[in-house]
Amino acid sequence: MADDNSAAAALSGAAAGDAPPPPQQREHHQQPSPSTSTAQPQPQPQLAAAAAAAASPPKKVVVVFRAAGDAPVLKVSKFKVDESARFAKVNNFLTTQLQAYLSSVNPESAGGAGTAAPSVFCYLNSAFTPSLEERLSALRDDYGADGRLVVHYALKPAWG
């Protein structure tokens, strides 16, 4: 169970002892005097909305991993990742998870300096591999289903 929590923390980029950043304090504006008040709109609601948006925590993308071919199924297949992260972070995380699983299944191949990480092939919509530089928010918006990004993975090429 501890491995699942540490895996989720590794993907979300949060360390165990990290606290969220303190919210930004809003500026207090003086009310205009009745003699200077006219029909001009005041920018205060816009400033408050901008301050609230800046103080809100980063939005997350739900990434669901699905095994394809002979790839092992992950114990935990759903993770939340910052939407500003790139697809390379998901690919690296998946490679690490599969390497840990494969080394636990076959201990003779684990731990050596010459042991290479497994080749992982990731696909969206069971059809194509996105660029590692793509932002997760863009991939979710373009190819997601129900607000989630489904990533199929395999250890050998599965789709063209």
Mean pLDDT of the chain, nearest integer? 75
- The answer, yes or no, to whether residue 74 has pLDDT greater than 70, is yes
115: which 2 tokens? 């042991």
Quick: pLDDT tens for 20-57.
455 554 455 555 545 555 555 555 666 555 555 556 67
Hey, where are the domains in the chain? 2-11+58-109+117-154
HSE at residue 65, side-chain half, CA atoms within 13 A, is 25
What would the CATH number be for the domain defined by 2-11+58-109+117-154? 3.10.20.90
Among 3-12, 16-25, 146-155, which is the least confidently predicted range? Answer: 16-25
Structural contact between residues 16 and 9, judged by C-beta atoms closer than 8 angstroms? yes
Quick: pLDDT tens for 75-116.
999 999 999 999 999 999 999 999 988 888 776 654 555 466
HSE at residue 80, side-chain half, CA atoms within 13 A, is 6
133-145 mean pLDDT: 94
Query: What local confidence, expressed as pLDDT, does residue 144 receive?
Result: 92
CA dist 126 and 140 (Å) reads: 15
pTM of the entire predicted model: 0.62
